[in-house]
Amino acid sequence: MFPDLGEFRLVNKILENAAPFEHSGPVNRDWLNVGDDCAIFDGWLATKDLSVENVHFRMDWSTPEQAVEKHIVSNVSDISSMGGIPRFALFGLCVNKSWPADLRDRVVKAVSEGFSRRGIALIGGDTVSGEAGMFSTTLLGTLPSGKPLLRSGARPGDRVYVAGTLGKSGAGLWILMNGPQDAGRFQRLVDYHLAPKIDERMGVKLLQAGVCGACMDVSDGLSSELNHLAFSSGVKIEILRQNLPIDPEVLEMCRHYGLNPMDFAMNGGEEYQLVFSNSVKNDIFQNEVVSEGVHCIGTVFDGSGVYMVDPEGGKVIVNAQAWSHL
């Protein structure tokens, strides 16, 4: 029984519909230090993300449900990129003192339902109040089988792939900042930025399909993630400009405003789809991944750096354009 205090009532509401605490651990007992999408300790995949009000989400743009969903997806995508399944979470909530009671209650309900719907058990955390809202999650996951997908796994001869289409989140943010009057026209892009929808089991599917290369999620923009993969693996990556799966609605938006869709495809962050490499070239693999909306965009070579190749064979270097908070 929780004491009749505001903070305890809030915690109790978060835990009301909590997923069950299952007593099972990792199959493999690997260890991996900092430097990948997740660390691994004694087989547990571990990641942490923060979402700060007016930095990662704005309550005048988002519903409370969208803000919470975006935060959870940002954590789950890290586990997915390693080929894992999220299992347990430690969640921290800073309640904005200016939030009205109904908004606070909707945030709490969204947290409870968001983790429970995914089968993620909440095993601890903290609640505070402050001048801005904040969500903080430490997420633990396990691999169903095999070895994790790592940033360092790309090898010369691998093909490079992207799951899903590119540019949606960055384009949605641009609409909110520069053309809010057209938000209804490009609602799908706006909604994707506010609460990205991804295949949260994509990493598991890749392992099951035999993928054994490098992988990470696209959180800071494709240009930055490709450079991470190339640097971590000690290889050169060449991508084909014409193969980039730019989302059709991003193309339409860019035509409408006279913008360059490549800016959104290469440098738009918060996509949370996966970019990965793989050496398997058989038809079974191709059929399995293509049916999941995966696109081949390039090849891994000996060397270093990332280059974009145009249809005429010209090459330009792709520099990392990651967002920096500092």
Nearest to 218 by CA among 177, 270, 261, 254: 270
pTM above 0.95, yes or no: no
Confidence band of 104 (pLDDT split at 50, 70, 90)? very high
Q: Is 305 helix (H, G, I), strand (E, B) or coil?
A: strand
What is the average per-residue pLDDT within 9-32? 84
Closest CA to 256 of 155, 178, 152, 157: 178
- Say which amino acid occupies 243: N
Residue 42: C-alpha distances to residues 29, 45, 46, 111, 132 (Å): 4, 9, 10, 28, 36
From residue 72, give the alpha-carbon distance in Å to each of 30, 118, 201. 25, 10, 14
**Regarding beta strands 159-163 and 85-96, do their DSSP bridges make them parallel or antiparallel, or are they unpaired?**
unpaired
Contact call for residues 1 and 8 (beta carbons, < 8 A): no
- The average pLDDT across 217-227 equals 96
d(CA 59, CA 54): 8
Residue 279 has a pLDDT of 81
Q: Which two tokens stand for residue 67?
A: 């803000």
- What does the alpha-carbon distance between residue 45 and residue 141 come to, in Å, rounded to a whole number? 5
Average pLDDT score over the chain: 92
Beta-strand pair 315-317/236-240:
unpaired
pLDDT tens per residue across span 253-292: 999 999 999 999 999 999 999 999 998 766 656 666 666 7
pLDDT digits (tens, 9 = 90+) for 51-103: 999 999 999 999 999 999 999 999 999 999 999 999 999 999 999 999 999 99
Residue carrying structure tokens 């930025």: 193
